[in-house]
Amino acid sequence: MNRIVIVGAGPAGIAAAEVLCARGHRPILIDEGEQAGGQGYRQPSAGLALDMSRLMGSEAGKYDALHARFANLKGRIDYRPRTMVWAIDGRTLHLVCDGRADVVEADTLLLATGAMDRVAPLPGWTLPGVFTLGGAQVALKDQGCLIGHRVAFLGSSPLLLLAAGQYREMGGEVAVVADTTPLRAKAAAFPAMMRSPRTLLRGLAYMAGAMRAGTPLLHGVTPLAIEGEGHVEALRVRDGRGRERRFSCDAVALGYGLKPETQLADLAGAALAYDADFRLFLPKTDGFGRSRPGLYLAGDGATIGGADAAEASGALAAHAVLTDLGASQDIAVIRRLARQVVRLRGFQRGLARAFAWPVAQIRAQPDATVLCRCENVTIGAVRAAMAQTLGPVEVNRVKAMTRCGMGRCQGRVCGPALQEIVAGVSGQDGAAAGRLRGQAPVKPIALAAAADTAP
Ligand SMILES: Cc1cc2nc3c(=O)[nH]c(=O)nc-3n(C[C@H](O)[C@H](O)[C@H](O)COP(=O)(O)OP(=O)(O)OC[C@H]3O[C@@H](n4cnc5c(N)ncnc54)[C@H](O)[C@@H]3O)c2cc1C
């Protein structure tokens, strides 16, 4: 029988496994996490009594439903938690599980690897006490702890208000929610966001909650610096009216939307193309999740769409697998899923405009701002390399000359900002500046664990 491997046990991977199981398959479902659920529906660590219904608010029902469905599914699939795929070489997936190396061969590969935070650098962003927005949520949901007593939320993302609300709910103090996108840009994106009125209302409810709680809520800010001696002490911004504001805090959560985790797709041979709305390179699929023969992509790892779209696209990709394996299909079900995915991803395009990636602010950063924190490369060092005679104008060449993006995160953190700096200095668009190619290991691994099976 065709061996089907799914990577990622978030809503997309779980929905895909359910569809395949229902048709008599027993897919392998791999996830590096201790427990299933992915990012949005993350469960607390074992033994931690955390009131998740309080934390998840209006999404508590969906959270419970997904985990109940997974409990029912678990015994009928080959589920491999705590297992990270760090390389793909043809049909072979290279794994690390509990510190031990392993390989698995896949006839059919369905990647549902989700997303991670996109961050924009500013002076002080490498200080202890600065977390990504998702990191701040992981600390809360996984460990039941806050990243600080008084937290500033900075960036441009609907998750800023969500996370700030969760922090308030769990007893944290919110110093400010500072969004770089002006309110009028958000208003202009309203028609696209009407594609999912329920999600839009949820976002408005977060905003109302922040206002009721008296949380300072700023739109159209220019971040100036995160200040502190050895640790975060304050966030300094210029507000939408041009006034400089300083907010005392002991932690900052930084997030400019999400970027798909595309490295495994890249290694598996997926084609990627530049998307001008998201200003990111996204994997190309046929709309049902097909990338190339034998490779399928679903969820936020394919295109940012949110949890509901992830679930629908996971089911859709599994139906594409079944179709390609010659199984008969209910066309009405496939059409319904496809329509749902298009609608919800369209909503996210509206969000991408309402919570824009602040291109001009990134390009205006001073030379001294650290761009690549793994290798401690400043924006000035990138500009200087590019200013040389016949200097590089493409991100992979810039990486080779400056080591920007060459550290342990493999450019997953600095890549999008590097792309904007390179585009800005060379006067090209983001597409021409290029993207950092996916490289194994896609995430840090112990060399000893990998030595036996390295591709
Ligand atoms: C940190 C974070 C917090 C979020 N919080 C919320 C929230 O509170 N509310 C909300 O509506 N949305 C949230 N989101 C958005 C969220 O991404 C989607 O709503 C939804 O979870 C996407 O589902 P998915 O199945 O595509 O991916 P995910 O749910 O992200 O699942 C992907 C899974 O793939 C696994 N994986 C990735 N790479 C590998 C690898 N190399 N090897 C093995 N396993 C791998 C991960 O461990 C993960 O479990 C959050 C996103 C992030 C990044």
Domains of the chain by range and CATH? 4-116+259-351 (3.50.50.60), 119-256 (3.50.50.60), 365-433 (1.10.10)
Report how far ligand 1's centroid is from the alpha carbon of 439 (Å).
21
- 58 vs 365, which has greater pLDDT? 365
Average pLDDT, the chain: 93
Report how far ligand 1's centroid is from the alpha carbon of 393 (Å).
33
What is the tens place of the pLDDT at every residue in 394-444? 999 999 999 999 999 999 999 999 999 999 999 998 899 999 999 999 999
pLDDT of residue 199: 78
pLDDT of residue 40: 87
pLDDT of residue 451: 73
Ligand 1 atom nearest the C-alpha of 132 is 1
The residue contributing the CA closest to ligand 1 atom 8 is 40
For ligand 1, residues with CB inside 6 Å are 7-13, 30-33, 38-40, 84-85, 112-117, 134, 137-138, 162, 258, 261, 264, 299-301, 306-307, 310, 442
Among 39, 70, 413, residue to substitute to test ligand 1 (most atoms within 8 Å of Cβ): 39
How large is the average pLDDT for residues 133-142? Answer: 92
Report how far ligand 1's centroid is from the alpha carbon of 8 (Å).
8
What is the tens place of the pLDDT at every residue in 348-399? 888 888 899 999 999 999 999 999 999 999 999 999 999 998 888 999 999 9
Ligand 1 atom nearest the C-alpha of 313 is 26
CA distance 245 to 415: 29
Report how far ligand 1's centroid is from the alpha carbon of 377 (Å).
29
Ligand 1 atom nearest the C-alpha of 117 is 53
Residue 329 CB neighbours (<10 A): 12
Banded pLDDT at 205 (limits 50, 70, 90): confident
